[in-house]
Amino acid sequence: MKPNNYEILHALKDINFSVEEGEMFGIIGKNGSGKSTLLKIMSRILIPTEGSVITKKAVTPFLELGVGFNYDFTAAENVKIYGIIMGLTPRDIEDKTEAILEFAGISQFRDTKLRNFSSGMQVRLAFSTAIQTNPQILLLDEVLAVGDKEFQKKCLHELERFKREGVTIIFVSHDLGSVKKHCERTLLLNHGIQVMIGETDEVVARYEQSG
Amino acid sequence: MLFQHIRELYNYRNLIWVLAWVEFKQRYKNSVLGYFWSLLEPLMMLGVLYIVFSNLMRIQVEHYQLFLLQGIIMWNFFCRATSMGLSAIVGKPHLVQKVYFPRDILVISGCTTALLMGIFESVIFIGFMLFFQIPLSVNIIVLPVVIFLFFIIALGASLTLAALNTYYRDIQYIWAVVLQIGFFASPILYPLTIFPPLLFRILSYSPIAQVLYLARDVTLYSKVPNLASFSYAIVISIIVLGTGYAIFSRLEPKFAEEL
């Protein structure tokens, strides 16, 4: 099945950058500019037609929270399922379940089925579980845009902790404020092309300029 | 390559197990009778088939009820394993598109769920064995090996089906028909000897037929496993698994895009 020539669309082309260990690196750009595709390539979910990604440490993608959540199972069971999908060991999960439920603010609903939870509670549970993984390279795709103000503050706090612990973080966001606040360097994509890479302030200024 | 992959799978053993367990548990979660269904289902099938085939068709087989029950349980395993394997990739787009782990894990855990269900159903079989006081021999120790070979064959077929089904959803419809034909072409309800000689010889080449013979020989009939059947099953299981992996690993890189 050969695609017709006029159907070929390069989701990404000529992308070339490196991220230092312990750095927090931003990726910004309009919808459809290829940000998520780039993250998926870095996570090995998609295989690039050309080129390669070289990583020195394990990559943990947070592309979507609650992957593998199952509505027929209880909160505690879902922590176990999701935790294992995210690479935790059963022992880790056993030890941390209480803490996870508490962080999510749903300790009293431990044995309630997930289907009875509000979407906010589900996301909080997912995030609380996901941060228990000890990431070395963390890929974040807009996942912080969840929950209420208070929970978002808790999330940012955890992110700061990761940063302090020397985790390399690649952060994709539309929230330019957060990018400016957290990332030293940023990459700007437009229609799959690397427009600019450098100091976050300059890159964000360029992006805002281009409208 | 091979050993590296086996080691990688070993590192993901918890994931394989959890996915299999979730699927197994979910089957009966919202039903009143729960796990009891998994015993009732083959039992009812056995009842109907027994009445039809022992009275109307007058099949003459030693321990026919057990012959039939073992056939049903093993065939059920194969059907479920390949059906779950078939939809392992297509049915779990989130696990393919949002996280990364070797994708054959989804197929392996699907087959493991089928195996769990099969083991669970075997409770009835054991009950029947005790009730009819069928004597066991040392040969029974070969049974786990036979089941393992059957699992490998089911897994190899599932890998092929899962990969192809991701590209051509027609596969699931074709496979449903193949399974229906397979049910009548395998020695489940009757021994293959009821067929005319030519057809008998052709159908005997089916690895499923050989596995069923082996399993029954060592459980019901206290026989030493037939060496020819046994070697045949081993060779076929290696070929089926090898082919499955060859197709699967070739198509795997594009799974996330095809869903």
ipTM, 2 dp: 0.86
Q: Does B14 touch chain A (CB under 8 A)?
A: yes
The answer to whether residues A176 and A120 belong to one domain is no
- Percent of chain A residues past pLDDT 90, beyond the cut: 53
B200: left (phi over 0), alpha (psi -120 to 50) or beta: alpha
Question: Strand A137-141 relative to strand A168-172: parallel, antiparallel, unpaired?
Answer: parallel
pLDDT at residue number B216: 96
* From A98-102, A174-178, B63-67, the region with the lowest mean pLDDT: A174-178
pLDDT band at A89 (very low <50, low <70, confident <90, very high): very high
Compare CB distances from B257 to A46, A72, A90 and report the shortest one's residue. A46
CA–CA separation, A6 and B12 (whole Å):
42
Q: Does B58 touch chain A (CB under 8 A)?
A: no
Q: Which residues of B touch A68 (CB under 8 A)?
A: 94-95, 99
Q: Does B259 touch chain A (CB under 8 A)?
A: no
pLDDT band at A137 (very low <50, low <70, confident <90, very high): very high
Query: Tens digits of per-residue pLDDT, B43-52?
Result: 898 899 888 8
pLDDT at residue number A1: 53
User: What CATH number has the domain bearing residue A139?
Assistant: 3.40.50.300
Residue B202 CB coordination number (10 Å):
12
Average pLDDT over residues A153-171: 88
A109, A134, A159: which is the final residue of a domain?
A: A134
Residue B192 CB coordination number (10 Å):
18
Q: Which of B240, B259, B245 is nearest to B104 (CA)?
A: B245
Q: Does B253 touch chain A (CB under 8 A)?
A: yes
Q: Which residues of B touch A61 (CB under 8 A)?
A: 98-100
CA–CA separation, A197 and A187 (whole Å):
4
Q: How many CA atoms lie within 13 A of A101 on its CB side?
A: 21
- Percent of chain A residues past pLDDT 70, beyond the cut: 94
pLDDT band at B11 (very low <50, low <70, confident <90, very high): very high
Of A30 and A147, which is predicted with more confidence?
A30
pLDDT at residue number A96: 93
Compare CB distances from B100 to A44, A73, A90 and report the shortest one's residue. A44
Q: Which of A19, A34, A11 is nearest to A172 (CA)?
A: A34
**Inter-chain touch B100–A45, beta carbons under 8 Å:** yes
Query: Tens digits of per-residue pLDDT, A1-20?
Result: 555 666 677 888 889 999 99
pLDDT at residue number A27: 94
A93, A114, A134: which is the final residue of a domain?
A: A134
**Inter-chain touch B94–A67, beta carbons under 8 Å:** yes
CA–CA separation, A41 and A52 (whole Å):
9
The answer to whether residues A44 and A141 belong to one domain is yes
Number of structural domains found in chain B:
1
In the predicted structure, residue A75 carries a pLDDT above the cut 90: yes
Residue A196 dihedral angles phi and psi, to the nearest 5°? -160, 145
Q: Under a CB-based contact definition with an 8 Å cutoff, are residues A136 and A169 in contact?
A: no
A118, A134, A150: which is the final residue of a domain?
A: A134
Taking the CA of residue B26 and the nearest CA in chain A, the distance in Å comes to 7
Domain interval for residue B240: 2-258
Average pLDDT over residues A119-132: 89
In the predicted structure, residue A54 carries a pLDDT above the cut 70: yes
**Inter-chain touch B95–A64, beta carbons under 8 Å:** no
Average pLDDT over residues A148-154: 79
Taking the CA of residue A206 and the nearest CA in chain B, the distance in Å comes to 30
Of B164 and A142, which is predicted with more confidence?
B164
**Inter-chain touch B18–A80, beta carbons under 8 Å:** yes
The answer to whether residues A79 and A16 belong to one domain is no
The answer to whether residues A206 and A139 belong to one domain is yes
Structure tokens at B116: 């769990």
Structure tokens at A34: 């290829």
pLDDT at residue number A84: 95
Q: Which residues of B touch A47 (CB under 8 A)?
A: 253-254
Average pLDDT over residues B89-98: 93
The answer to whether residues A19 and A107 belong to one domain is no
Domain interval for residue A113: 65-134
Q: Does A51 touch chain B (CB under 8 A)?
A: no
pLDDT band at A145 (very low <50, low <70, confident <90, very high): low
**Inter-chain touch A61–B26, beta carbons under 8 Å:** no
The string of DSSP letters for B3-28 reads HHHHHHHHHTHHHHHHHHHHHHHHHH
Q: Does B98 touch chain A (CB under 8 A)?
A: yes
Query: Tens digits of per-residue pLDDT, B120-141?
Result: 999 999 999 999 999 888 999 9
The answer to whether residues A70 and A124 belong to one domain is yes
Taking the CA of residue A127 and the nearest CA in chain B, the distance in Å comes to 15
In the predicted structure, residue A177 carries a pLDDT above the cut 90: no
Q: Roughly how many angstroms between the first and final C-alpha of chain A, as a whole number?
A: 39
Q: Does A85 touch chain B (CB under 8 A)?
A: yes
Taking the CA of residue B103 and the nearest CA in chain A, the distance in Å comes to 10
pLDDT at residue number A6: 66
pLDDT at residue number A24: 92
Query: Tens digits of per-residue pLDDT, B17-45?
Result: 999 999 999 887 777 777 888 788 888 98
In the predicted structure, residue A93 carries a pLDDT above the cut 90: yes
Q: Under a CB-based contact definition with an 8 Å cutoff, are residues A146 and A65 in contact?
A: yes
Compare CB distances from B29 to A45, A72, A80 and report the shortest one's residue. A72
CA–CA separation, B76 and A24 (whole Å):
52
The answer to whether residues A101 and A129 belong to one domain is yes
pLDDT at residue number A5: 60
The answer to whether residues A10 and A112 belong to one domain is no
The answer to whether residues A52 and A70 belong to one domain is no
The answer to whether residues A198 and A146 belong to one domain is yes
Question: Strand A185-190 relative to strand A193-199: parallel, antiparallel, unpaired?
Answer: antiparallel
Query: Tens digits of per-residue pLDDT, B104-113?
Result: 999 999 999 9
Q: Which residues touch A176 (CB under 8 Å, ≥6 apart)?
A: A28, A204, A207, A208
In the predicted structure, residue B54 carries a pLDDT above the cut 90: no
pLDDT at residue number B2: 83
Average pLDDT over residues B133-157: 95
pLDDT band at B1 (very low <50, low <70, confident <90, very high): confident
**Can you tell me which residue has the tokens 């929270």?**
A65
Q: Which residues of A touch B255 (CB under 8 A)?
A: none
Taking the CA of residue A209 and the nearest CA in chain B, the distance in Å comes to 32
Window 16-45 of A, Cβ < 8 Å to B: 40, 43-45
* Interface contacts (A, B; CB < 8 Å): 53
Average pLDDT over residues B71-91: 96
Query: Tens digits of per-residue pLDDT, B225-237?
Result: 999 999 999 999 9
Average pLDDT over residues B213-240: 95
Query: Tens digits of per-residue pLDDT, A20-48?
Result: 999 999 999 988 889 989 999 999 999 99
pTM of the model: 0.91
The answer to whether residues A74 and A127 belong to one domain is yes
Q: Which residues of B touch A111 (CB under 8 A)?
A: none
Q: Does B257 touch chain A (CB under 8 A)?
A: yes
Beta bridge partners of A190: A193
Compare CB distances from A85 to B96, B97, B99 and report the shortest one's residue. B99
pLDDT at residue number B53: 83
In the predicted structure, residue B15 carries a pLDDT above the cut 70: yes
Number of structural domains found in chain A:
2
The answer to whether residues A186 and A145 belong to one domain is yes
Q: How many CA atoms lie within 13 A of B17 on its CB side?
A: 9
Q: Does B11 touch chain A (CB under 8 A)?
A: no
- Cα A92-A94-A96 angle, rounded to 5 deg: 65
